[in-house]
Amino acid sequence: MQPSNIVFAYGQNKGSIARNEAIANMTTNTAIELEQLGVSIDTPISVDVTTFESSEVKPFISGNVRDKDVFLFVDFNGELHKAIYSFILTLQALQLAGVRSTTVVAPYIPYLRQDRKDGGRVPVSSTVLIDNIKMYTTVKRIITVHMHCSQVEMAFASNPALPYDHFPGRAIWRDFARERFAEVIKAGKLILIDPDGGNPKEAKKLAKELNVSENQIVCINQTRSDGGKQIFNITGPDVSGMTCLAVDDIIDTATTLSSAIKMLFSRGAAEVIACGTHAGFSTKKGITSYKRLGDTGAEVVVTDSLITKPHQWLKVVPLHPYLAHIIYQNVTDDGSVSQLIKEGLPK
């Protein structure tokens, strides 16, 4: 791939000011970071999405992309299903416009939690969006961050295979923890929390990369009594006086997470930091996730893969440095995303 042939593109929806600013900033900042690495990029172009009175959508690519290698930055903020369909139509528009290749840059991909057939007469929804992407032969690769679980990757690998770069959230939170908790780790005071018991393997990998003993991992599993009451089972070391770092792929309603945080504090934790790569931040039973998390007294750290509202207890880690280096590894000879995952961002 010739670096001078690269075009960055991103969606813009009329009336969606916050969403438009967020994806434009991510795209522009990634381009600036990549230019600093020595890769020449054309000025990013917008994909302007018109919504008609009938609710139909029509994307328009605002610049020339013929014979270009397009990196399409995609967000799924706002009206989810409108965003999904706008994205699929954009892929077709790019192919019809004669692009040489399209690389989809989608830090967050929806529906990946619906990754199995868990009952009769239900779909495996995680495969549907991916299958729609595969329809377009000009799509050569997809770049994403912290998928829900490793089995979802089979949807990319199944015939016809779609090459992908999955950057694990673990690598982001490892870098964050090394910078933030160097002295805490050195003192043996960091406890890693698997907040819903769903991914102990990732917790062990993170522990190894932080040079933290596996004996300092706490797993919290949720069950319900016959009466429907939420019951938490906690396994692992005493958290009294310790710094607890909880890591998950997505924070949605925060019902389970907020209860887990309160339980850790009730057991004497000195501080709790909850990291969620994707800030779904939805509402359940009339209570927002912001309210639930704000009431816990914990610090919450997320990335900017989805839009958030500012709060004192909320910190946002930008993804553009990671995206720039992932793309850099893709457009240079002998590039290795695996090495980037292993070593982190260069200092």
Which range of 28-32, 158-162, 223-227 scores highest in mean pLDDT? It is 28-32
Residue in the block written with tokens 């704000």: 294
pLDDT of 4: 60
Mean pLDDT, range 325-346, rounded to an integer: 96
pLDDT at residue 2, as a whole number: 46
Mean pLDDT, all residues of the chain:
95
Percent of the chain topping pLDDT 90: 88
Residue pair 152/126 in contact (Cβ under 8 Å)? The answer is yes
Q: 1: pLDDT confidence band, cut at 50, 70 and 90?
A: very low
Q: Residues 6 or more apart from 123 whose CB is under 8 A from it?
A: 114, 117
Tokens of 325: 């280096």
Amino acid at 321: P
| Neighbouring residues of 134: CB distance < 8 A, sequence distance ≥ 6 | 160, 162
Q: Please give the pLDDT value at position 317.
A: 99
Q: Which two tokens stand for residue 187?
A: 């003192």
Cα distance between residue 131 and residue 180, in whole Å = 40
Domains 3-167+320-343 and 170-312 share a fold: yes
Residue 38: count of CB within 10 angstroms of its CB: 9
pLDDT classification of 3: cutoffs 50, 70, 90: very low
Mean pLDDT of 94-114: 98
Q: Which residues contact 209 (CB under 8 A, 6 or more apart)?
A: 170, 174
DSSP 207-266: HHHTT--GGGEEEEEEEE-TT--EEEEEESS--TT-EEEEEEEEESS-HHHHHHHHHHHH
Mean pLDDT of 48-75: 97
What mean pLDDT comes out for the span 176-202? 93
Model confidence at 276: pLDDT above 50: yes
Cis peptide preceding 310, ω within 30 of 0: no
Q: Give the CATH architecture of domain 170-312.
A: 3-Layer(aba) Sandwich (3.40)
Two tokens, residue 279: 């800030």
Domain boundaries, the chain: 3-167+320-343, 170-312
Give per-residue pLDDT as tens, 35-52: 999 999 989 999 999 999
Topology adopted by domain 3-167+320-343: Rossmann fold (3.40.50)
**What tens digit of pLDDT does each residue of 154-188 get?**
899 998 999 999 999 999 999 999 999 999 999 99
Which of left, alpha, beta for 286 (phi over 0: left; psi -120 to 50: alpha)?
left
| Model pLDDT, residue 86 | 98
The mean-pLDDT minimum among 28-37, 59-68, 88-97, 146-155 falls in 146-155
